[in-house]
């Protein structure tokens, strides 16, 4: 059964989508300790069934693995989904600026015109579609003029290969430069209860120009999903293994935070994770809260947050508890 999902619009494009989106970075396995393709396909389909239609992916998530999973999951259901994918992290060329190594491949930040066209074609093949709803510059490239990048994106839009243009990991100054050359429909940035920097930086400019904000890491890599077992270990290349936010001391701090909010959670009849996602949507800073999932139950739980109505009092109490317990985590 579909939840009573809140809806939103992706900026000037007019594309309507769910206010909660499914993030597929972890499905690609890279930096998340591996992945299970079959479970990921089921999770994507469960998201659609539960009312989440924005599916966010990128070529860099497993060097194409995440996009291929999305393409498989959407066979026969493409019209139900709003696909957001990205360009600008490349391994087919060594142009641009070296960024990191993934599975033995050097990956570069590069947003040159011909490279974007190449990336778009490769993404279309992996996604098994002839158009991308929202095409996002993943990381910015200091070696290519924004005018060249935007010109390529606008041409792809004219060709019908993309419907809307987005940017990610961008400064207000760079976003303003993009806007000089044409409409930007969305900006994707990190945003959660403990990552609120864009409220004072990028969000005001987005509001002024009708740029929808897609907030990624809405649960702070799972930190805000609920109390974490002190004995849990993050293995392999899982980035949380070396992230100081997941220290034993922070887990104890988070336990106290969640205990303080348990009466509110019980009254709302939701999980802690759903309450945090609902907070993200209710704040009004982001149009879409992107939430990662690798299995069916996670996807269904995240989608359920779309029907949670916090109200002003719950919002006030959550903010107060965060200020009291979580300020040292930021």
Question: Which residues share a beta bridge with 86?
Answer: 136
**pLDDT profile of the chain (330 residues), mean per 10:** 78 97 86 77 97 97 95 98 98 97 93 98 98 98 98 98 98 98 98 96 98 95 82 65 74 90 96 97 96 94 95 96 84
Residue 175 makes CB contacts below 8 A (sequence gap 6+) with 167, 184, 187, 202, 205, 206, 211
Block residue for tokens 């010109």: 151
pLDDT at site 245: 75
Cα 288 from Cα 275, distance rounded (Å): 15
In this prediction the pTM is 0.93
Pick from 183, 207, 197: nearest CA to 287: 207
The answer to whether the beta carbons of residues 321 and 257 sit under 8 Å apart is yes
Tokens of 52: 């989440």
pLDDT at site 253: 86
Is 178 annotated in the active site? no
Region of 62 (left: φ > 0; alpha: ψ -120 to 50; beta: rest) is left
Cα 193 from Cα 128, distance rounded (Å): 36
pLDDT at site 2: 44
Cα 102 from Cα 305, distance rounded (Å): 33
pLDDT at site 3: 46
pLDDT at site 1: 36
Question: Which listed residue (61, 135, 178, 191) is catalytic?
Answer: 61
Cα 265 from Cα 322, distance rounded (Å): 15
Cα 278 from Cα 42, distance rounded (Å): 24
pLDDT at site 103: 85
pLDDT at site 129: 98
Cα 275 from Cα 257, distance rounded (Å): 13
pLDDT at site 243: 66
């Amino acid at each position: 059964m579909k939840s009573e999902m809140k809806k939103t619009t992706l900026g000037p494009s007019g594309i309507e989508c769910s206010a909660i989106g499914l993030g597929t970075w972890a499905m690609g396995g890279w930096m998340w300790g591996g992945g299970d393709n079959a479970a990921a396909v089921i999770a994507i389909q469960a998201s659609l069934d539960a009312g989440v239609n924005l599916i966010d992916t990128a070529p860099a998530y497993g060097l194409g693995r995440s996009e291929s999973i999305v393409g498989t999951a959407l066979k026969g259901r493409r019209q139900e989904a709003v696909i957001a994918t990205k360009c600008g992290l490349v391994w087919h060329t060594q142009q641009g600026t070296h960024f990191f190594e993934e599975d033995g491949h050097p990956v570069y930040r590069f947003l040159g015109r011909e490279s974007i066209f190449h990336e778009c074609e490769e993404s279309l093949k992996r996604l098994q579609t002839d158009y991308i709803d929202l095409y996002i510059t993943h990381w910015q490239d200091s070696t290519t003029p924004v005018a060249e990048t935007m010109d390529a994106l606008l041409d792809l839009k004219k060709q019908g290969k993309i419907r809307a243009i987005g940017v990610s990991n961008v400064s207000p100054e760079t976003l303003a430069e993009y806007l000089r050359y044409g409409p930007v429909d969305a900006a994707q940035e990190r945003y959660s209860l403990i990552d609120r920097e864009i409220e004072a930086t990028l969000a005001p400019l987005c509001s002024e120009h009708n740029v929808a904000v897609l907030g990624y890491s809405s649960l702070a890599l799972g930190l805000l999903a609920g109390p974490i077992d002190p004995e849990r270990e993050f293995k392999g290349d899982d980035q949380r293994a070396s992230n100081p936010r997941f220290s034993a001391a922070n887990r104890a701090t988070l336990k106290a935070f969640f205990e303080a909010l348990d009466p509110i959670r019980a009254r709302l009849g939701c999980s802690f994770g759903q309450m945090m996602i609902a907070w993200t949507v209710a704040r009004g800073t982001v149009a879409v809260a992107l939430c990662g999932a690798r299995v069916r139950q996670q996807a269904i739980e995240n989608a359920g947050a779309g029907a949670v109505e916090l109200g002003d009092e719950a919002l006030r109490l959550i903010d107060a508890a965060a200020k009291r317990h979580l300020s040292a985590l930021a």
